[in-house]
Amino acid sequence: SFLTEEMLEYIDGFLLGDGYAGMDKLLKMNVKHKEFADYCMAFFKCYRGKSVQYASQVGGFCGKKPYAMWTGLTARHHDLAMQRERWYVKNNTPGSRYKYIKRVPEDVRITPKSAMLWYLGDGSLRWSKKRIAIQLSTDGFIRDDVAKLRDMLSKTLLVECTHTKNNRLFLGTQASINFFNFIGWESPISC
């Protein structure tokens, strides 16, 4: 097993963001920038993490222009099957097209590294001359899980974070400053 406390931080940040733990015992992500896929997969070298170019996608980030999609993925491993069980539960919602839903585990790690991966994977920054704000796209989680993440972030940052109507987390100016003080002000990637 490669499941150290540090590895669990990386996995939690990866899965809080756009990462996915598959039933096929691997971690996976699809992103626009190769640099970001490479950055994330570097944490999973012990699981043979790699980035490969996927097919061209239309729409999304580039306003209907095709762009190359990059897939970061690991090899299959028992450790990652355990993370799948930790993060996903059977979906008992009648008529849902998804057999499983992603749930935030009780022991999720909110650390500088996991928060950095989460922000890079599913965060956005808004700024003007008078204020900055961060939005974390948590709309894929159930409302109770987002409320739990809000409370954890508020406790970690010592400033109130907001759970929005569209099920996302919003960090106002002071919370954003505290968030960047927590994860660091310099991005580890240029994209």
Q: What is the pLDDT of residue 129?
A: 84
Per-residue model confidence (pLDDT) at position 189: 96
Angle at 146 between CA 145 and CA 152, to 5 degrees: 90
63 compared with 36, residue with greater pLDDT: 36
Percent of the chain, pLDDT > 90? Answer: 79
Q: Which residues pair with 132 in a beta bridge?
A: 127
d(CA 187, CA 133): 16
Mean local confidence (pLDDT), 159-173: 95
pLDDT exceeds cutoff 70 at 64: no
pLDDT digits (tens, 9 = 90+) for 169-188: 999 999 999 999 999 999 99
Confirm if 140 and 101 have CB atoms less than 8 A apart: no
d(CA 89, CA 103): 7
What pLDDT, on the 0 to 100 scale, is given for residue 102? 94
Q: Which residues contact 3 (CB under 8 A, 6 or more apart)?
A: 79, 82
pTM listed for this prediction: 0.91
Q: Each residue of 79-133: pLDDT tens digit? A: 999 999 999 999 988 888 888 999 999 999 999 999 999 999 999 998 888 889 9
pLDDT of residue 32: 86
